Structure 1
Amino acid sequence: MTELTGATGPLDGVRVIDLSTVVMGPYAAQIMGDLGADVIKIESPADTARVGHYRTTPGMTPLHLNVNRNKRSVALNLKDETERATALELIGTADVVITNMRPGALSRLGMNYEDLAEANPGLIYAHAQGFRGDSELAGHAAYDETVQAASGLVDIANRALGKPVYLPTILADKVSSLTIVYSVLAALVHRDRTGQGQRIEIPMTDTLLAFNLVEHLAGHVFEPPQGQTGFALSMTKGHQAVRTKDGFACVIPYNPQNFRDFFAAAGRPDLAADPRVNGPAVDSADHEALAALIEECAPALTTAEWAEVCAKHSIPMAPVLELDRAHEDPYVRDGHLLDTVEHPTEGPIRAIGIPVRFAVTPGSIRRLAPVPGQDTAEVLAELATR
């Protein structure tokens, strides 16, 4: 059982007010908490992350436990004038506010950037929403699936897989979370240099479109276009993990020597002599046919045998991690990426580790996700003494 730590990280001394719900904003605020910030979550029971299955305590769902650690929870009804005034007083003590409320709701509550910056000019105000505020779609409802569609990701999946599927992960939310974090950190650097706070807008659709186009703009980088959009390798049919003798693995021969070594290990010297893998580079036009040959040859060895072969010949390879057994995987276990901790109300739970390693100011898990309103009295008592 892993113990919590009181260690502080590089954001020690920074106060973040989390006015967000579901995943995008809360995950961003949690990352800042992991890095040492004092994160105060102002919440009502309406947070979607708290809706769903729980073990013992209402609201203590897996999603909530995964995006709200290293925070203190303060229950305030922002529609109540007195409690809203308390929230505004708390925001006056903050360095950062993160919110994904719609602009109309923020205006009605008096919580737009302009409202808050008047009393706290150094405030960094991160507002995440589905679409740009100056677009005709501003204020429209947006979910991860709608953003995957609006950003071109569904088209990429359709062209690669033949079906306009959504990726089975909330990619738009989580990429936007990371974008919130780096944007806020950049704004804090600027404020430390100049004393000037600012509003940051993080539109999910714009964020994911920029993310997708890094490789998939491809031939349309040039004007006029010099080829199609879409990154050739990842759009190839058969670009998938392969079945080995005893499981599944990702085996990605990358250059001609990788292919020759792979085919030789599979007992196919005829393929090792194939002209397609004996030139200066592998032609993108051959990717689909070669992917089919990898799939055909992979069952010759077990996953462990392929791991040994690929390590010897520097062929990119990884076994397919089964999530149900992730906590048993040596890499996950040794890196403390999924440790068991004792939650005050939920008992033993698995906590996702902090993936980034700081040599001098490491992040830490100091608090596990709170019960709704758990820290209201503590935080308001501190506020009264400021």
Structure 2
Amino acid sequence: MAGGALEGIRVVDLTSVVVGPVATMFLADYGADVIKVEAPGGDLLRKLGGASKSGQLSPKFLHFNRNKRSIVLDLKQAESMAALRRLLETADVCVSNMRPKAMAKLGLSIEGLREINPAMIYCGLVGFGQGGRYRSKPAYDGIIQGAGGLTAIFEKSDGEPRFVPMTIADHTVGLIASQMITLALYKRQMTGASDAIEVPMFENMAAFVLSEHMGQLSFDPPRGEPGDLRVLDAGAKPVATKDGHICISANTDAQAFAMFRAIGQPDLCVDARFNSVKARYDNVSAYFALRESALLNKTTSEWIEIFDEADVPAGPSHTLESLFHDEHLNDVGLFQTRIHPTEGGIVDITLPNKSQALARTNYMLPPLQGEHTREILTELGYTAADIDSTFVSGSVAEPYAPVTKDTLKHA
């Protein structure tokens, strides 16, 4: 038994790369039986996300696909489509990030899915809402970052449009999709009604950015320029110290005045430019600039100790390596080493949110491509002979067989 809040919920996962797998991993982590349906070539992220011993379990794939089972079906073949339809008949949820035209071509439009399983919840992750003129455009994280205004934030801040150097749109929209799916499951439990959900990346990220940065465009008529000048200022960045950088967020009067005293400039507490929240907002560039020279005479750890004592919010500006070794993350057990049959030791990121009974209890390693194909087909009622003939026909792929010392002995 999986345990967890979503135990007993079956999710057919027709997604790949990041946005969909993030959504379905959340469901899997909390007990859902997520069946990842892969084409014979496998999820692109198996290779795109970095090197691995097996060649199919890249680091990024590992972190987005734990607690799932994998079946490989060639949906160009009639036998595979029949198996998929049988699988969908058993599902509570179907999630896809295929374009709607591709789904319709497979007979899996919303109407087609309802014919297969009227009680099933369908969630379609799309680049652009299907009611708009961009509906047929392909979308990747970088496309959405630019269209959704994330690159404009950098341009407003330092003069150059840039991407956030991670798939932030995929992550954000994937988590939003998981929220929408759990809402739909709750509604179905309460009313018996299923739902078809459209989760567009562009609209979600536009709303995400504009809720922060519509600024004076929030009024009709507009009262000024868009953007929160406090966070868009070029000085809104980690501050250099004697040996690295530190992050400070002194927002309230109490925090700002405590910071002024800590850096040895208590007179700034009564400076008309900085003596109130509004004054510091109106003079944000000067407020940020005064820190640049003040913090160079001590190390980051020395300043953190000083600011902690003064109750000024501050923390390190980690490198990727130092973040991995952060003592607090070690205290709370965010990382756990596990042994994978093909990769050896892997470092898993555990669930950051703690609960007494919401998370699943039987952890499953990220699956090899097609690892559970036979198992799932057997659950669907296929006999061993049926499965063998299907394998022979090439409609589904044999599970990946890792090379071991024993297989080498018998080669």
* 1:145 paired to 2:105: no
Q: Which residue of 1 aligns with 2:303?
A: 306
- Could you list the runs of 5+ residues in structure 1 that have no partner in the other structure? 1-5
Is the 8 Å Cα contact of residues 354 and 363 (structure 1) preserved in structure 2? Answer: no
Please give the alpha-carbon distance, in whole angstroms, between the structure 1 residues aligned to 2:208 and 2:274. Answer: 32
* 1:35 paired to 2:30: yes
Please give the alpha-carbon distance, in whole angstroms, between the structure 2 residues aligned to 1:104 and 1:250. Answer: 47
Q: Which residue of 2 aligns with 1:375?
A: 372
Question: TM-score scaled by structure 1?
Answer: 0.94
Please give the alpha-carbon distance, in whole angstroms, between the structure 1 residues aligned to 2:349 and 2:223. Answer: 44
Aligned-pair distance for 1:244?
1.4
Q: Which residue of 1 aligns with 2:407?
A: none
Is the 8 Å Cα contact of residues 256 and 282 (structure 1) preserved in structure 2? Answer: no
- Could you list the runs of 5+ residues in structure 2 that have no partner in the other structure? 384-411
Aligned-pair distance for 1:58?
2.2
Aligned-pair distance for 1:260?
2.9
Question: Relative to structure 1, is the Cα distance of residues 363 and 276 closer, same or farther in structure 2, using a 3 angstrom cutoff?
Answer: farther
1:328-369 per-residue CA deviation (whole Å, 9 max, x = no partner) reads: 211111222222211121111111121221233334561111
* 1:248 paired to 2:249: no
Is the 8 Å Cα contact of residues 333 and 339 (structure 1) preserved in structure 2? Answer: no
1:12-67 per-residue CA deviation (whole Å, 9 max, x = no partner) reads: 11111110011000111011100111100010224221123333112111111111
1:253-289 per-residue CA deviation (whole Å, 9 max, x = no partner) reads: 2133323322322233454553323346543121111
Aligned-pair distance for 1:121?
1.0
Please give the alpha-carbon distance, in whole angstroms, between the structure 1 residues aligned to 2:169 and 2:66. Answer: 21
Aligned pair partner of 1:67 in 57, 64, 72: 64
* 1:48 paired to 2:35: no
Is the 8 Å Cα contact of residues 14 and 97 (structure 2) preserved in structure 1? Answer: yes
Please give the alpha-carbon distance, in whole angstroms, between the structure 2 residues aligned to 1:90 and 1:342. Answer: 30
* 1:230 paired to 2:251: no
Segment of structure 1 superposing worse, 176-185 or 103-112: 103-112
Q: Which residue of 2 aligns with 1:16?
A: 11
Q: Which residue of 1 aligns with 2:259?
A: 262
Question: Relative to structure 1, is the Cα distance of residues 279 and 72 closer, same or farther in structure 2, using a 3 angstrom cutoff?
Answer: closer
Please give the alpha-carbon distance, in whole angstroms, between the structure 2 residues aligned to 1:65 and 1:239. Answer: 34
Is the 8 Å Cα contact of residues 260 and 266 (structure 2) preserved in structure 1? Answer: yes
How many equivalent pairs are there? 381
User: Match of 1:86, as an amino acid?
Assistant: A
Is the 8 Å Cα contact of residues 266 and 300 (structure 1) preserved in structure 2? Answer: no
Q: Which residue of 1 aligns with 2:191?
A: 194
Aligned pair partner of 2:182 in 182, 185, 188: 185
Aligned pair partner of 1:107 in 86, 104, 107: 104
User: Match of 2:250, as an amino acid?
Assistant: P
Please give the alpha-carbon distance, in whole angstroms, between the structure 2 residues aligned to 1:55 and 1:230. Answer: 42
Aligned-pair distance for 1:191?
0.8
Aligned-pair distance for 1:7?
6.0
User: Match of 1:48, as an amino acid?
Assistant: L
- RMSD, matched Cα: 1.8
Give the fraction of aligned pairs with identical amino acids, expressed as a percent. 36
Aligned-pair distance for 1:324?
1.5
Please give the alpha-carbon distance, in whole angstroms, between the structure 1 residues aligned to 2:55 and 2:326. Answer: 31
Q: Which residue of 1 aligns with 2:92?
A: 95
Runs of 4+ deviating beyond 6 Å? none
SS in 1 for 2:309: helix
Segment of structure 1 superposing worse, 273-282 or 199-208: 273-282
* 1:346 paired to 2:343: yes
Q: Which residue of 2 aligns with 1:58?
A: 55
SS in 1 for 2:273: helix
Aligned-pair distance for 1:327?
3.1
Is the 8 Å Cα contact of residues 8 and 36 (structure 1) preserved in structure 2? Answer: yes
Aligned-pair distance for 1:85?
0.7
Please give the alpha-carbon distance, in whole angstroms, between the structure 1 residues aligned to 2:266 and 2:322. Answer: 36
Question: TM-score scaled by structure 2?
Answer: 0.88
Aligned pair partner of 1:125 in 122, 125, 139: 122
